[in-house]
Structure 1
Amino acid sequence: MSPSAVPAVRDRLRIAIQKSGRLGEPARALLASCGLAWRESRDRLFCYGETLPIDLLLVRDDDIPGLIADGTCDLGIVGRNVLLEQAGERARTGAAATYREWRALGFGGCRLAIAVPDEWRWDAAGDLAGKRIATSYPALLSQWLAAQGIDAEVVTLSGSVEIAPRLGKADAICDLVSSGATLAANHLKATETLLQSEAVLAGPIAPFGDVRAELAALLLRRLDAVLGLKDSKLLMFQADSIDVPALMQLLPDAERPTVLRVDGSDRVALQALCRGAMTWQRLEDLKRAGADALLVLPVERMLA
């Protein structure tokens, strides 16, 4: 009888990201904004963490879920579409899910959608019954068809899905849509949306049993702080005490403000972290409601 496998114990956290592609550079930039810096290997496949024991492995995006599943990497930044597609493939083979989405990261947005030729008169999803649908996401498409009760043939292609109808290989397609320019160039129109996708931080379902748990918690705190500050500004202004309630009604996205009384008067100075965009129109509205000496400052870092 062979001995049981012993789970890997490491004192460094390893994150897989795209080596090339649209998610690679934004992922690096996001992690760098969390205070991470690396020394890159000569082959440019591994980045050794210098500020924290958090390393990067640069790989193909399709490999990231598998690397997390087999423990080669601890976390990964990957498109939700890739993560869920591979989870669906594993489920079809009876394999248990070992990873999940930890955080949505707010970049790389797109959608997985059904697209049909422009000349189609589209009424409802039922129009796909009996049709051939080409896709690189057979698991997600099969799940959606089953949920809709639609009997259609799934044609799996590894690339160039958008030309399948013109080549006679399919009647419709299921593919990622961003701007829609590629569909228009191939005389296709998007109809049903199966999934809203973006870059996500993925990790194991089971908790880490070593120092990686602390490193992962630290990383999540910093990510939450960075993502929470997106479009946030520190707003400072003065006003008469009596005007403060009306002014705060104009700041529904503001956290509870700091209020300081101005010496020798009934005026107060306020500062508040506002999560939404601080436009000129908002400043004008505040001015008319009694605020003056308005000052908007960028927020570089915040740790709650």
Structure 2
Amino acid sequence: MRGSSQSAALLSSPHLLHIKMNAESLDGRLLFAIPKKGRLHEKCLELLAGADIQFRRHARLDVCLVKNHPIALVFLPASDIPSFVGKGNVDLGITGHDVILEAQMQDHVTEELRLNFGKCALQVQVPEAGPIKSVEQLAGKRVVTSFEVLSGDYFGKLDAQLNLTGDTKTKIEYVGGSVEAACSLGLADGIVDLVESGDTMRAAGLHAIATVLQTEAVLIKSSKPKDPAHEPLIRRITSRIAGVVAAGHYVICQYNVKRDKLSAATAVTPGRRAATVSPLEDEQWVAVSSMVEKSKSADVMDQLVAIGAEDVLIFNLDNCRV
């Protein structure tokens, strides 16, 4: 059976050697890989809670059973999740878009959904006080990174454009952590690393001279799923997670406005499809309800008040289907 072989593959993984769960308990369950630590872990747990995926993870165990769905959660390093999903060892996974490309698994997994968190940039950084001001000046020198594949592709193309060959090509060296220290230690002329706020890089005296890639967390599944019976559950979970993501992106704006100002007001709050307009006892007024982008809600409220709207209210969403 596919479930048995899939369970055996997971239990033989070096990351899961301490699992004490029966392989039979995983049979027939959809396997969903979640980052076990790092920048994506806590956000993933919030996402699962919002999608009503209920579980209790016992200490030191990397697999746990979901209580209200035939799902088992598998906690793995984010860097391993694309390979596990692409090879069919697990059915779904959450990881970074950058991790998929670095693992060279983009042809083996399908990005079902962008998750609107874990946003950062893979950037080329050099000492701010140093002589290098552009990537063209850095080409042919030493670059340290944890992203050998993406950095190699980026500088490979740059080297080709600059006709750098042989010993004159850019030297890419791998470092697993604390990449930002490489320049100050004399190991590199520049680095390539993920940057979220930029505070760490600035503290290390570095600044960006180019962006290799913009990335964020994504929900992925295998491009060639081994068990078609799981497809309905995959669609349901994807829909639920999409609802949580949309709920974090939008708010509900409600207000009262005179009928002669309705057209101007709904131009500000058109909604995803259309605004909901309800009559009030005062025939000159209507109540309007509409979804608006959370990041723009303060500006929307200001514009509505300027038009003449009253009782302008904003409500957060816990979940939705859009």
Q: Judge same fold: TM > 0.5, yes or no.
A: yes
Aligned positions of 1:1-304 closer than 5 A: 11-41=28-58, 43-87=60-104, 97-148=107-158, 149-150=161-162, 151-207=169-225, 209-251=227-269, 255-263=273-281, 265-277=283-295, 279=297, 282-304=300-322
Q: CA deviation at 1:211?
A: 2.4
Query: Which segment drifts farther, 270-279 or 112-121?
Result: 270-279
Q: CA deviation at 1:36?
A: 0.7
Partner of 2:15: none
Distance of 2:114 and 2:301 partners within structure 1: 31
Distance of 1:235 and 1:109 partners within structure 2: 26
Cα deviation 1:192-243 (Å, max 9, x = unaligned): 1101122111221125642210111011111221111224222222222221
Distance of 2:314 and 2:205 partners within structure 1: 47
Query: Which segment drifts farther, 23-32 or 250-259?
Result: 250-259
- State whether residues 246 and 289 of structure 1, in contact with CA within 8 Å, keep that contact through their aligned partners in structure 2: yes
Q: What SS does structure 2 have at the residue aligned with 1:230?
A: helix
Supply the AA of the counterpart residue of 1:291. Answer: A
Distance of 1:62 and 1:277 partners within structure 2: 31
Distance of 2:32 and 2:146 partners within structure 1: 25
Query: Could you say if the C-alpha distance between residues 177 and 299 of structure 1 is closer, same or farther in structure 2, counting changes exceeding 3 Å?
Result: closer
Cα deviation 1:153-174 (Å, max 9, x = unaligned): 1112222322222333222111
Structure that is richer in helix per residue? 2
Alpha-carbon RMSD: 2.5
Q: CA deviation at 1:41?
A: 4.1
Supply the AA of the counterpart residue of 1:154. Answer: I
- State whether residues 16 and 75 of structure 1, in contact with CA within 8 Å, keep that contact through their aligned partners in structure 2: yes
Distance of 1:288 and 1:170 partners within structure 2: 56
Distance of 1:294 and 1:172 partners within structure 2: 51
Distance of 1:75 and 1:68 partners within structure 2: 6
Supply the AA of the counterpart residue of 2:129. Answer: E
Q: CA deviation at 1:245?
A: 0.5
Distance of 1:129 and 1:202 partners within structure 2: 34
Partner of 1:93: none
Q: What SS does structure 1 have at the residue aligned with 2:79?
A: helix
Query: Could you say if the C-alpha distance between residues 73 and 286 of structure 1 is closer, same or farther in structure 2, counting changes exceeding 3 Å?
Result: same
Q: CA deviation at 1:140?
A: 0.2
What are structure 1's unaligned runs of at least 5 residues?
A: 1-5, 91-95
Q: CA deviation at 1:26?
A: 0.9
Query: Which segment drifts farther, 154-163 or 247-256?
Result: 247-256
Query: Could you say if the C-alpha distance between residues 161 and 234 of structure 1 is closer, same or farther in structure 2, counting changes exceeding 3 Å?
Result: closer
- What TM-score comes out, normalization by structure 2 length? 0.81
Query: Could you say if the C-alpha distance between residues 287 and 158 of structure 1 is closer, same or farther in structure 2, counting changes exceeding 3 Å?
Result: closer
- State whether residues 65 and 71 of structure 2, in contact with CA within 8 Å, keep that contact through their aligned partners in structure 1: yes
Aligned residues: 292
- State whether residues 112 and 196 of structure 1, in contact with CA within 8 Å, keep that contact through their aligned partners in structure 2: yes
Query: Could you say if the C-alpha distance between residues 248 and 208 of structure 1 is closer, same or farther in structure 2, counting changes exceeding 3 Å?
Result: farther
What are structure 2's unaligned runs of at least 5 residues?
A: 8-26, 163-168
